[in-house]
């Protein structure tokens, strides 16, 4: 396997020496005289390893290391330093450097260190490739189900996949919106182009514009180099805007312009950039309610809602629970080196009786746990998590009338919501992030529900 190594040093003779030494091992060597030049090379070339000097004018070694770890987190970096500053190199390893070599260095020592770093890089690449293949297999093949509501989703995917129309996916958290977006991209006419996913709720508001549209060097504190945004990364491909309902109003106008005009302006750069991007947006919010409450722009809503695809909750497609569970058991079991022949009738009935507030994501987590604890080829009822068998929360303190219909729907829903959140907190030992993931909602939504329902975590777990 051939490798590309980038040597960064402001001494041209040292760059030439390292290039000569490394090329004898079949390595292609790129050189840069400073950190900013190095970043430009990294944006254009597929580099496997960076060897950087510690002291350089402009952007020095520590600054370059920090930028690489931010933008290329799996790219190994070897720091070169003089003997008198070895302590600085040790500090750089704590900050993410793979290793260091001290000047003047021995060529054999250099070869050994470089060889280890490239082996590490190869392992990471292999893991990424296998994980991507597995994820892609899961994402596409997880469109499992034959219920009428899900067949409508599959028909919609087939109708729009060859189009460049903007798509709005709606549905509760965990219903598979990103999975559907990836399926549309994979089976459409942009399949060989990038698929870029952005969680609009996970990026701090102050960084969201730069993340979307990129920025010029010096546009704000910390902008040490030019950077392209997600729109340009997805050029000719698909941009998936997850949780679009959480996007700040100030940025919605710029997103609208990007969709209408197909142009963007990086932060700090007045020049427009043309982009050819198919946008798929997703939300678990009722955007029309958000529009009515002045929380979401009406014009952006209609621009996004060109081709809406509502995704049904798992409780609305109960007949799909068994095939989905078998699919997850086969896939997750194979990854863990186990083979399962299926689920017992009691286990399938227990899953069918549960309401799945976290939808497909929660079902997958449930099956994953079952594949870990199951000792037989058939997954039994006792292999399933205990919360599936909790008493129905709607009967707990809520007045039931009219053949099981709650007299106060809002109170009934609040009790259901509270029961699930309490169960998740108990199972996660009070760790809120883990509890939110367990029931398939964002941490922000989880914190909001805690406050709304008056739940105090410190009083739950002791």
Give the tens place of pLDDT for each residue, 203-255.
888 788 888 998 888 777 766 677 888 999 999 999 999 999 999 998 999 99
- State the number of CA atoms in the 13 A half-sphere of 145 facing the CB: 28
Is residue 222 situated within a structural domain?
yes
Q: 3-state DSSP call for residue 394?
A: helix
Instruction: Tell me which of 153 and 436 has the higher pLDDT.
Output: 153
Tell me what pLDDT residue 131 has: 55
Cβ–Cβ < 8 Å for 61, 55: yes
Cβ–Cβ < 8 Å for 215, 226: yes
pTM above 0.95? Answer: no
Q: 3-state DSSP call for residue 48?
A: coil
Enclosing H/E stretch for 154: helix 148-160
The CA-atom distances, in angstroms, between 100 and each of 80, 81, 186, 356, 414 are: 6, 7, 42, 51, 57
The CA-atom distances, in angstroms, between 142 and each of 134, 183, 195, 344 are: 11, 10, 18, 21
| 283 has pLDDT over 90 | yes
- The reply to whether 226 and 288 lie within a common domain is yes
Give the CATH number of the domain where residue 221 resides: 3.40.50.300
Is residue 140 situated within a structural domain?
no
Enclosing H/E stretch for 252: helix 249-261
Average model confidence (pLDDT) across the chain: 84
Give the CATH number of the domain where residue 440 resides: 1.10.10.60
Q: 3-state DSSP call for residue 278?
A: strand
Say if strands 400-401 and 27-32 run parallel, antiparallel, or are unpaired: unpaired
Is residue 396 situated within a structural domain?
no
Q: Stretch 45-53: mean pLDDT, rounded? A: 91
Peptide bond into 9 cis (omega under 30): no
- The reply to whether 213 and 277 lie within a common domain is yes
The CA-atom distances, in angstroms, between 316 and each of 147, 319, 356, 453, 460 are: 9, 9, 10, 26, 32
Res. 130 pLDDT band, cuts 50 70 90: low
Contacts of 399 (CB under 8 A, 6+ apart): 406, 407, 408, 411
Which of 274, 290, 311 finishes a domain? 311
Res. 138 pLDDT band, cuts 50 70 90: very low
Which of 365, 389, 413 finishes a domain? 389
The C-alpha atoms of residue 14 and residue 12 are separated, in whole angstroms, by 5
- The reply to whether 297 and 202 lie within a common domain is yes
- The reply to whether 320 and 264 lie within a common domain is no
Give the CATH number of the domain where residue 371 resides: 1.10.8.60
- The reply to whether 253 and 361 lie within a common domain is no
Which of 252, 286, 311 finishes a domain? 311
DSSP 124: H
Is residue 133 situated within a structural domain?
no
Q: How many domains does the chain have?
A: 4
Q: Stretch 340-355: mean pLDDT, rounded? A: 91
Tell me what pLDDT residue 394 has: 42
Query: By percentage, how much of the chain surpasses pLDDT 70?
Result: 87
Helix orientation angle between 321-335 and 345-353, rounded to the nearest 10 degrees: 120
The C-alpha atoms of residue 188 and residue 155 are separated, in whole angstroms, by 14
Is residue 141 situated within a structural domain?
no
Q: 3-state DSSP call for residue 275?
A: coil
Other beta carbons within 10 angstroms of residue 365's beta carbon come to: 18
| 434 has pLDDT over 50 | yes
Tell me what pLDDT residue 76 has: 92
- The reply to whether 161 and 78 lie within a common domain is no
Tell me what pLDDT residue 409 has: 56
- The reply to whether 270 and 228 lie within a common domain is yes
- The reply to whether 298 and 323 lie within a common domain is no
- The reply to whether 266 and 250 lie within a common domain is yes
The C-alpha atoms of residue 113 and residue 29 are separated, in whole angstroms, by 16
The CA-atom distances, in angstroms, between 80 and each of 24, 121, 220 are: 20, 19, 30
| Helix, strand, coil shares, percent, the chain, to 5 | 50, 15, 35
The C-alpha atoms of residue 307 and residue 237 are separated, in whole angstroms, by 18
- The reply to whether 306 and 216 lie within a common domain is yes
- The reply to whether 235 and 169 lie within a common domain is yes
Is residue 207 situated within a structural domain?
yes
Tens-place pLDDT, residues 366-388? 999 999 989 899 999 999 988 88
Is residue 139 situated within a structural domain?
no
Tell me what pLDDT residue 408 has: 52
Is residue 342 situated within a structural domain?
yes
- The reply to whether 291 and 180 lie within a common domain is yes
Tell me what pLDDT residue 183 has: 92
Cβ–Cβ < 8 Å for 117, 49: yes
Residue 349 belongs to domain spanning: 314-389
Instruction: Tell me which of 93 and 273 has the higher pLDDT.
Output: 273
| 402 has pLDDT over 60 | no
């Amino acid at each position: 396997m051939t490798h590309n190594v980038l040597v960064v040093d402001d001494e041209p003779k040292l760059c030439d020496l390292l290039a000569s030494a490394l090329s004898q091992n079949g390595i292609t060597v790129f050189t840069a005289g400073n950190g900013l030049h190095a970043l430009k090379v990294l944006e254009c070339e597929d580099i496997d390893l960076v060897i950087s000097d510690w002291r350089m004018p402009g952007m020095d070694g520590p600054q370059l290391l920090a930028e690489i770890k931010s933008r290329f987190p799996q790219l190994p970096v070897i720091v070169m330093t003089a003997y008198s500053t070895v302590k600085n190199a040790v500090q750089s390893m704590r900050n993410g450097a793979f290793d260091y070599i001290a000047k003047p260095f021995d060529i054999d020592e250099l070869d050994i260190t470089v060889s280890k770093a490239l082996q590490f890089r190869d392992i990471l690449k292999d893991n990424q490739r296998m994980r991507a293949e597995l994820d892609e297999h899961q994402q596409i093949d997880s469109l499992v189900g034959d219920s009428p509501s899900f067949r409508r989703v599959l028909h919609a995917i087939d109708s729009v996949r060859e189009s460049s129309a903007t798509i709005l996916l709606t549905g509760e958290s965990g219903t598979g919106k990103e999975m559907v977006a990836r399926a549309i991209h994979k089976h459409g006419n942009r399949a060989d182009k990038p698929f870029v996913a952005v969680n609009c709720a996970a990026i701090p508001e102050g960084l969201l514009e730069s993340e979307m549209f990129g920025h010029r060097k010096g546009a704000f504190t910390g902008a040490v180099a030019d950077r392209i945004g997600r729109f340009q990364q997805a050029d000719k491909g698909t941009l998936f805007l997850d949780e679009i309902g959480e996007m700040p109003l100030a940025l919605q106008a710029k997103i609208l312009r990007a969709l209408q005009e197909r142009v963007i302006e990086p932060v700090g750069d007045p020049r427009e950039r043309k982009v050819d991007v198919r946008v798929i947006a997703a939300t678990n919010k009722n955007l029309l309610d958000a529009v009515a409450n002045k929380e979401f722009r009406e014009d952006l809503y209609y621009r996004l809602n060109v081709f809406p695809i509502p995704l049904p909750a798992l409780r609305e497609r109960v007949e799909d629970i068994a095939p989905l569970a078998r699919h997850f058991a086969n896939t997750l079991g194979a990854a863990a080196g186990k083979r399962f022949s299926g689920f017992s009738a009691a286990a399938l009935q227990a899953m069918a009786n549960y309401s799945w507030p976290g939808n497909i994501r929660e079902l997958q987590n449930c099956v994953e746990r079952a594949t870990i604890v199951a000792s037989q080829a058939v997954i039994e009822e006792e292999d399933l998590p205990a919360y599936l068998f909790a008493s129905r929360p709607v009967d707990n303190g809520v007045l039931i009338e009219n053949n099981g219909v709650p007299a106060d729907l809002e109170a009934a829903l609040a009790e259901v919501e509270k029961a699930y959140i309490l169960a998740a907190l108990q199972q996660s030992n009070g760790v809120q992030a883990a509890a939110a993931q367990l029931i398939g909602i964002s941490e922000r939504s989880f914190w909001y529900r805690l406050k709304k329902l008056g739940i105090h975590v410190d009083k739950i777990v002791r």
